[in-house]
Amino acid sequence: MGDISKDINSKFISDKVKALINIKYTANWLSSKETDFFKPYGISPQQYNILRILRGAKEKIKVQIVKDRMIVRAPNATRLMDKLCEKSLIERERCEHDRRVVFVKIKKQGLELLSTIDENQQFDFLDRITEEEATILSNILDKIR
């Protein structure tokens, strides 16, 4: 089992500081695993997040709504959506009444890619914790925020 003190060869002034460093270290570890997982699909974790949001919306929604719903707020969300358009995974549509408003919608190819990803997505590392521990962890993270 991992131990943050050994992993980064460090001591901490308190358990709270240790927990904070552990959260940051684990977040980076998860991010790295996520990036590696999505690489064969030709998308980034942020692009995957956009596709999931659009799948859940079922209809076209404003670009701003997508940005607001993103797990990791990306200042480059528009560029990420440009790339998804280039890959024919989503489509854009300007509002007829207000040209400043842009709508986005997932295309069939985007839905198919998500289905493939859903079939192959594995979180083996989550097998190391129980459902009860997962609930406790989630509650603690909610409490911190």
- Give the pLDDT band (50/70/90) at residue 144: very high
Q: Is 23 part of a structural domain of the chain?
A: yes
pLDDT value of residue 85: 97
**Which amino acid is present at 92?**
R
34-45 burial by CB neighbour count: b if 16+ within 10 A, else e? eeebbeeeebbb
Q: Which two tokens stand for residue 36?
A: 């590696």
Q: Is 40 part of a structural domain of the chain?
A: yes
pLDDT value of residue 75: 83
Q: How far apart are CA 61 and CA 58, in angstroms?
A: 9
> If we measure between CA atoms, which residue out of 111, 133, 47 comes closest to residue 84?
47
Q: Is 109 part of a structural domain of the chain?
A: yes
Which SS3 state, helix, strand or coil, does residue 134 take? helix
Q: Is 129 part of a structural domain of the chain?
A: no
CATH number of the domain residue 96 falls in: 1.10.10.10
Q: Is 130 part of a structural domain of the chain?
A: no
Q: Is 126 part of a structural domain of the chain?
A: no
| CA end-to-end distance (rounded Å), the chain | 27
Our count of domains for the chain comes to 1
pLDDT value of residue 1: 55
Domain that holds residue 12: 4-118
Q: Is 139 part of a structural domain of the chain?
A: no
Q: Is 144 part of a structural domain of the chain?
A: no
Structure confidence by residue, pLDDT tens digits, 53-101: 999 999 999 999 999 999 888 788 999 999 999 999 999 998 888 878 8
The count of residues in the chain is 145
